[in-house]
Structure 1
Amino acid sequence: MPAADPQPLAPHPADPQPVAPPPTDPQPLAILLDALGTLVALEPPVPRLRGELAARFGLEVTEQEATRAIAAEIAYYRAHLDEGRDDEALRALRRRCAEVLRRALPAAAARLELDPLVEALLASLHFTPFPDVRPALLAARARGQRLVVASNWDVSLVGVLRRLELEPLLDGIVTSAGAGARKPAPAIFEQALAVAGAPASGTIHVGDSLEEDVAGARAAGIEPVLIRRAGGPAVAGVRTIASLSELLAPTAA
């Protein structure tokens, strides 16, 4: 006669019950990314500008003079970058930026022709990707996440990211100039979501500005992630990272 099937034993009242691991946040379907300060850094432009002015025009300026001039140009550009919405408009914007630079340089710069000065200015602006960017983007793509840049920049950002070989790792690039709205306005985030093909509830946005990135993402219903590459105090209620590599691991709930 075959032996009876063993019956499961009832747990002893004193036996500890298994404890489920703590839940983790689901990985987002899409990641929106700021550009400057998040993906790329602007190398110090002052030494390059001084070198360009000397090499192209024989114009020697001090570090202080170059610093003052480049600061004036950057301030003008940031106020007007959305005007660079296409190639023709971008050329006109760059000429205006070069004119601001020329006026802020010493009086001897008044003789400089504008078009060559535009070239000198552009040669002074050199962007490099942060070391963690490529591995993080590759890892996100391997997980099937959509990656879209949402940045306050003119339309030349596409070319910048292409030269840095980051464009092929992205599913789209949305600039404020192209979108007709700059962060923190919800419209640029909404366009980025459309490009990503993902809902706001399944998306995070990573950027380095509390106003433009954190407040802007929240206004669009997107979870913000603040990146502080140089460190700094934590911000209450905001997930903060120092490197994009920290996005690779899920966060505890």
Structure 2
Amino acid sequence: MRYDAVFLDVDGTLLWVDLDVEGYVEDLSPYAGNGGITVERATRPVWGSFRRHIRENIEHRTEETFARFRRRNAERTAGELGIKAPTEVLTEVAERRISFNPYPEAEPVLEELEALGVPLYVVSNWDIELEKVLEGLGWMRFFNGIVASAIFGVEKPRREIYDEALRVAGVPAGRAVMVGNDPVSDVRGASEAGVDAVFVDRKGGEAPEAAFIVSDLRGLPGIVRG
């Protein structure tokens, strides 16, 4: 086996995240003044809320502060759209209208890697509920451990999160490989920590530091096997 541990990014690598803006509008139109809201009007604030979540979730490392952050974020988005609804309604709708969509090859590749016997670890810039998302997909069975930025307190591409992943996996840098779609966070960050990187190039990018480049995950088992 070429590697003794595989580190996997999530968003853009194993799955993509989408927002159902139309559903958000449908759910909250009864609470909107001025004749309601439209998908066109809601799209920018709703996606802005999601990007804010990505930027700021690392600051909220406990369930209490994270729940507060979610409530404030939902209220801010609703305020931008003139929606007046109970906070619990806003939060529930915002959460329900996010979807996590596995790439078609993701689960078969995870199964193939599992059959190889190589330990798999998630290393992702994600909030404290990453394990909940993976459980919802039925994927926790594949992973020996999770290193989520909001729990550890450091985001990729910083070396510390890769050092933590190596510590959790119990392997030296030269025996692990990072798999991800971001040329900086996944590829450069791993490379600077001494970890080989597989660049999952789904959109046509460049990652000169990558040890391997694949268009999707199907080539990964062969790389790991060596």
TM-score by length of 2: 0.90
- Which residue of structure 1 aligns with residue 88 of structure 2? 115
Q: Say whether the 8 Å CA contact 1:184–1:213 is kept in structure 2.
A: yes
How far residue 202 of structure 1 moved from its aligned partner, in angstroms, is 0.6
Counterpart pick for 1:186 among 159, 173, 181:
159
Q: Say whether the 8 Å CA contact 2:178–2:190 is kept in structure 1.
A: yes
Is residue 2 of structure 2 the alignment partner of residue 27 of structure 1? yes
Structure with larger Rg = 1
Q: Aligned pair in 2 of structure 1 residues 134, 102: CA closer, same or farther (>3 Å)?
A: same
Q: Which stretches in structure 1 are left out of the alignment for 5+ residues?
A: 1-25
Is residue 61 of structure 2 the alignment partner of residue 98 of structure 1? no
How far residue 234 of structure 1 moved from its aligned partner, in angstroms, is 5.1
Q: Say whether the 8 Å CA contact 1:214–1:224 is kept in structure 2.
A: yes
- Which residue of structure 1 aligns with residue 215 of structure 2? 242
SS in 1 for 2:46: helix
Is residue 109 of structure 2 the alignment partner of residue 136 of structure 1? yes
Q: Say whether the 8 Å CA contact 2:8–2:123 is kept in structure 1.
A: yes
- Which residue of structure 2 aligns with residue 147 of structure 1? 120
The count of aligned residue pairs is 223
* Partner Cα separation in structure 2 for residue 250 and residue 149 of structure 1: 18
- Which residue of structure 2 aligns with residue 38 of structure 1? 13
**Which contiguous aligned blocks of 4+ residues in structure 1 show a shift greater than 3 angstroms?**
56-60, 233-237
- Which residue of structure 2 aligns with residue 156 of structure 1? 129
Q: Give CA-to-partner distance per residue, 1:47-102, whole Å, 9 cap, x none.
A: 23223224x74774212222111122022212211123222122112112112212
SS in 2 for 1:79: helix
Is residue 199 of structure 2 the alignment partner of residue 226 of structure 1? yes
* Partner Cα separation in structure 2 for residue 32 and residue 46 of structure 1: 32
Q: Which stretches in structure 2 are left out of the alignment for 5+ residues?
A: none
Over the matched positions of the two proteins, sequence identity in percent amounts to 31
TM-score by length of 1: 0.81
